[in-house]
Amino acid sequence: MTLEEGGRRTCIKVTIILVNIPVALFGLVAAGLGIWIALDDPSFMHFTHLDEIELFDTSYVKTGSYIIVAGGFGVALFGILGIVAAATESMILLAAYTMLIALAMAVEVAATVLGVVFKHTVESTMEKAIGRSIKEEFDGVADSENIFTIHFNAVQQKLQCCGFNNSADFSTATKWNTTVNNVTQQIPPACCKNMTLSDQCVANPTPVNSYTMGCKEALADLFERYFSVIIGVAATLVFCQLVMMILSFLMMCTKVENSYNFKE
């Protein structure tokens, strides 16, 4: 092996190691965060002030923490495998690392394709599910104790929207008492821009005092707002994975070539 080949091989090795160090650290930090949430979720909720946001259901936090722990350890092991494979120049570990990258890229491509193909199916399923929940659970009370109503009210206030498609969705709500304090409500208080002064709004809603956009459209606008960021992050991730796969493959090829040269 010439000095130039040795330098190129060392450069590839160092690049793989340097890229995988932050990957492994990120995975360990995520796993540690997940463990903290699983063992003491009230302190996490208080520390992050999530307990002050109605949109968050604390009952799902612990379940999410298990997913974070599993994902964190998975990412950490992936990064450590890359570091060890490059440092030891083991053909088996390099091959395993390359195959894992290829598998991850295949899963990402498959998920993207499925997302595009079944986009309308997912939207239709979500619309039916929310429509059914509005019909069977939504009670229209501003300080409701019903879980769905609490969350849907919070979404409407946060996204400044009314109903999923529009305010007509509430006409099917079987648990909504539209007459409160001798006032016949046309829309729930959560659709009003000022919920503390909602009597006039719920009885005579206008674009001035209430939200007219459906939450479906508001969610679409929110997604489009961050679409370029999502695409940028995804493209960067795929590019880094492709570079790591090529470098790992080059290191394996170099090692095989050196083995043949040594035999000769």
Among 148-157, 222-231, 252-261, name the most confident range: 148-157
Mean pLDDT of 248-263: 68
Among 186-190, 228-232, 252-256, name the most confident range: 186-190
Cβ contact 135:176 at 8 Å: no
Mean pLDDT of 259-263: 50
Predicted confidence (pLDDT) per residue in 3-17, tens digit: 566 677 788 888 889
| 31 or 227, which is more confident | 31
Report residue 263's pLDDT band, with 50, 70 and 90 as the boundaries.
very low
Query: Which residues are paired to 184 by β-bridges?
Result: 179
**Cα–Cα distance between 231 and 226 in angstroms, integer?**
9
- Residue 61 has a pLDDT of 67
Predicted confidence (pLDDT) per residue in 173-206, tens digit: 999 988 877 888 899 999 998 877 667 888 889 9
- Residue 233 has a pLDDT of 80
Predicted confidence (pLDDT) per residue in 32-79, tens digit: 888 887 776 666 666 655 554 444 555 566 777 788 888 889 889 988
Cβ contact 161:218 at 8 Å: yes
* Three-class HEC string of 170-236: HHHCCCCCCEECCEECCCCHHHECCHHHCHHHHHCCCCCCECCCCHHHHHHHHHHHCHHHHHHHHHH
Predicted confidence (pLDDT) per residue in 133-154, tens digit: 999 999 988 888 888 898 899 8
Report residue 125's pLDDT band, with 50, 70 and 90 as the boundaries.
confident
- Residue 54 has a pLDDT of 46
- Residue 210 has a pLDDT of 92
